Structure 1
Amino acid sequence: MTISTFKVRLATAAAALMLSASAHAGEVSWWVSEPGKVKAQQLATEFEKENPGITVKLQANPYGGLEGKVMIAVKSGIPPDLIEVQNSWIPSYQATNALEDVGAAINQSVPLTDFVPATLAACSVDGKIYGLPFQAEALAMLYRKDLFRDAKLDPEKPPQTWDEMIEVSKKLTYTAPNGQRRYGYGIAGGGAEGQGNTLYRSLPYIWMNGGDILSADMKKSTLNTPEAIAGVKFYTDMLTSLKVSPPSTLENGGLELRRLFMAGTIAMYQGTPTELERFAQDAPNLDYGVAIMPHPTGKETSALLGGWGFIVPKAGKNKAEALKLLQFLAKPERLALYTRTFPTTTTSMNLPRFADPKLDAFKVMMTHARPQPPIGSWLEISSAYYKNIQEVLIGGASPKDAMAAADKAIDAILKK
């Protein structure tokens, strides 16, 4: 081999290596949840057309076990470049210092002032934004208008206060002429994803009564207070003393409540905007209404903000491309396309897709929604809370004793 031939081959090999490295650098791996797969592929194709040097490698993951799967990935040192997660998981991931601060990148694409403030707060830890919130939701009250009529109640006047809620729930609880046992109000006490379902539906009763689960500095549990105990009592009384919730409550999560509602077994329950799509598919003739959640007299309603976002792991190999995809996804029309409930910006919320009057109560609830505390030990904290809520529901403890026990367990978690 001559020196000139060797130089040519060396140059060719170097060029091939550079091309290979360039191709790798131009590939961004994106994990999404299974329900978002079709729309994610649509957006990925559009992104690739706008950015011909970048390829999107898409992977869809089922909900089951996703939180743990992402935690393993972000701690592995070789995570995907962009990941769809529940916003409530972000503090736990960032507790390991695993996430990129994406606030500045988002602001270059969409002004942060366009976002509903609580949605950014849900993705933030210590004032830094670690995720692009694309989906937001707050529970509203769904009620069967036909069952209201059967009970001689005005279907256009759902209960607005706790006192009205108790009165109406009692009237809606009876055995119908066809032998079906009906119940006024369905609450979550278990089922699949029971911990999240029960927390999501019960914690707002503590908030709207002026209580909280943690102190403002997140260093102490505040469940053993009159306000918090009364909120828990109102929620659990629906099963334990008032008996206006079905005996299956300890097995009921969101899915079970929806089925009981469609079957006419329960007349009211807390649901998300996604329920409306399910009703349209599974029970198109269902006669129902949507209202804001009842609240204590003289106080405001409340909701726990739910939602999803996209995170960029620090250890991702293609961070520049991931941030470019993140900025692409942040545009209002893409947030509106991808969300399964509501988008997170004012501009996208005003698009025609969200003009259905049945969504109005959900929009109102969004203005009263609060994110969970941004603390890395939240999963443990909510587990201790859930365990003690169940103790009340099975009749093993009073709300006061259960919240005292939860208080003690959570304080121990906070001191670790």
Structure 2
Amino acid sequence: MLNLKKLSVTGAAIGMLGSLLAGCGDNNAANGVSADKKVELTFWDAAWNEAITPGVIKEFESKNPNIKINAQYNPDNGMSDKYLIALKQKNGPDIININLDWVTPFATIGGLQALDSYIQTDKVDLTDFFDGSIQSAKVKDKIYTLPYRAETHGLLYNKKLFADAGIDAAKAPENWKQVLEDAQKITKGDVFGIGLVGTNFGNLTTQLFNMIQSNGGSILNADNTKSMLNEPAAVEMAKLYVELSTKHKVTPNSILQNDNIANRNLFSSGKIGMYMSGAYDVAPIKQANANIDLGIGMVPANQTRKTILSGWGTSITNSSKNPEAAWKFINFLSTPEISTKYSITFSARKSAAKDPKYQDPQTKAFVDALAFAQPLPQIPELTQIKQSVFNQIQSSLSGKITPEEAMKNASKEIDDLLAKK
């Protein structure tokens, strides 16, 4: 388990600094940034934002001419590892764009600066953020990131392939029995009913965990001390996940090499009838195939509808020598107006839901699903838990062990991990 380290700036010191600065008249000075002092900040962003971020930075710099933002873009593959190493060594950037799942492990090693005093000084309305987003941003009741993006999964399906198979294309499958039946009808030749992932532990576990939760199961017990993955509701979905490939043969033969991008490409080219993903895939699909008849529904549910709330936020690292200036930027990114521009899915602000960008009927299922979405357990061991499940399911997809054995093995590893806390 990672050791908890003290942050370089204590809560008391930040609070004192906020009180002192609040008395200054200049807006920049009120946030610890002198109007005549030029500050340069390094911002590690995600590669998929490279077309969006420059415009957002330009807008920020026009309002804050004494602050310059130098953005560097990182691909998804290896991003969390790069961040973690930099934070441990205290040689990272001033600001990082992070998945909400990473907040707890990054804050636990002392890699992020708490934001509570800034939030209080600038009177940021936390009630306007989705509850799950703020819950994910907290560690021991302190907030370490300001969310700007919220999302959950839905089921994307090809209406033409459904209609050609004699399936009502007006609505998506409502439960997992129907998913299997529809996938079997669609599968023919080199066209398969559904795309699932067999590589990329984040992609695989997100999809499997969505299935488990939609079947009334859960990942851990209520106090996050024991695995629930060996319970019937979880095992049933693990078995379906694996057997859609190994028994029913309704997934592409390349499942072990396919991540979410591979499935999106297969879907765009009409080679799979449906797959789970987020709103971020809609634009690339339409760019790849403008004529595709795209349908979108919520993730199918056998029991109470409950999907995973994911999202992203921006944080000030332990390396920043100009945290007040960094705060101004991350606060700017989280505002309803800017977060709507910056997020490739949905803003983490409730008040942004009325924006015309989110009124497209095709994305309505994703917006509606946010009401049923909840974050995964916010514990430092979450990445290790995902890796364990991924390893076991991969072995099952390869035919080395049964799905039941996979869940039993993963649960044992998870219980052993949690017992060390």
Instruction: Give the TM-score range, shorter chain.
Output: 0.7 to 0.9
The answer as to 2:394 corresponding to 1:390 is: yes
Paired residues of 1:261 and 1:268 also in contact (CA < 8 A): yes
TM-score normalised by L of structure 2: 0.86
Equivalents in 1 of 2:36, 2:415: separation in Å? 51
Letter in 1 for 2:345: T
Equivalents in 2 of 1:251, 1:58: separation in Å? 32
Q: Which residue of 1 aligns with 2:232?
A: 226
- Structure 1 unpaired stretches of 5+: 1-20, 176-180
Q: 2:204 aligns with which of 189, 198, 202?
A: 198
Paired residues of 2:155 and 2:172 also in contact (CA < 8 A): no
Q: Which residue of 1 aligns with 2:52?
A: 39
Q: Which residue of 2 aligns with 1:282?
A: 288
Q: Which residue of 2 aligns with 1:82?
A: 95
Equivalents in 2 of 1:358, 1:242: separation in Å? 30
Q: Which residue of 2 aligns with 1:214?
A: 220
Paired residues of 2:46 and 2:97 also in contact (CA < 8 A): yes
Q: 1:183 aligns with which of 184, 192, 199?
A: 192
Alignment of 1:146-185 (within 5 A): 146-175=160-189, 181-185=190-194
Deviations 1:61-82 (A, max 9, x none): 3333221222222222343221
Letter in 2 for 1:202: L
Q: 1:26 aligns with which of 21, 27, 39?
A: 39
Equivalents in 1 of 2:315, 2:201: separation in Å? 24
Secondary structure, counterpart of 1:266 in structure 2: coil
Paired residues of 1:32 and 1:84 also in contact (CA < 8 A): yes
Equivalents in 2 of 1:325, 1:186: separation in Å? 39
Q: Which residue of 1 aligns with 2:339?
A: 335
Q: Which residue of 2 aligns with 1:326?
A: 330
Deviations 1:346-379 (A, max 9, x none): 1222211111100011112222222121111222
Q: Which residue of 1 aligns with 2:107?
A: 94
Deviation at 1:104, TM superposition (A): 4.9
Equivalents in 1 of 2:377, 2:402: separation in Å? 26
The answer as to 2:305 corresponding to 1:301 is: yes
Structural RMSD (CA): 2.0
Deviation at 1:343, TM superposition (A): 0.9
Q: Which residue of 1 aligns with 2:16?
A: none
Equivalents in 2 of 1:54, 1:275: separation in Å? 33
Letter in 2 for 1:133: P
Deviates more, 1:351-360 or 1:394-403: 394-403
The structure with the larger Rg is 1
The answer as to 2:152 corresponding to 1:125 is: no
Paired residues of 2:44 and 2:95 also in contact (CA < 8 A): yes
Paired residues of 1:109 and 1:331 also in contact (CA < 8 A): no
Q: Which residue of 2 aligns with 1:140?
A: 154
Overall identity of the aligned pairs, in %: 33
Count, aligned residues: 386
Secondary structure, counterpart of 2:168 in structure 1: coil
Q: Which residue of 2 aligns with 1:14?
A: none
Equivalents in 2 of 1:348, 1:104: separation in Å? 25
TM-score normalised by L of structure 1: 0.87
Equivalents in 1 of 2:103, 2:83: separation in Å? 10
Q: Which residue of 2 aligns with 1:255?
A: 261
Q: Which residue of 1 aligns with 2:30?
A: none
Q: Which residue of 2 aligns with 1:291?
A: 297
Alignment of 1:64-83 (within 5 A): 64-83=77-96
Deviation at 1:240, TM superposition (A): 2.1
Paired residues of 2:269 and 2:289 also in contact (CA < 8 A): no
Paired residues of 1:205 and 1:302 also in contact (CA < 8 A): no
Q: Which residue of 2 aligns with 1:3?
A: none
Equivalents in 2 of 1:169, 1:110: separation in Å? 47
Letter in 1 for 2:106: Y
Letter in 1 for 2:326: A
Deviation at 1:235, TM superposition (A): 2.0
Structure 1 residues 318 and 325, CA gap change in structure 2 (3 angstroms): same
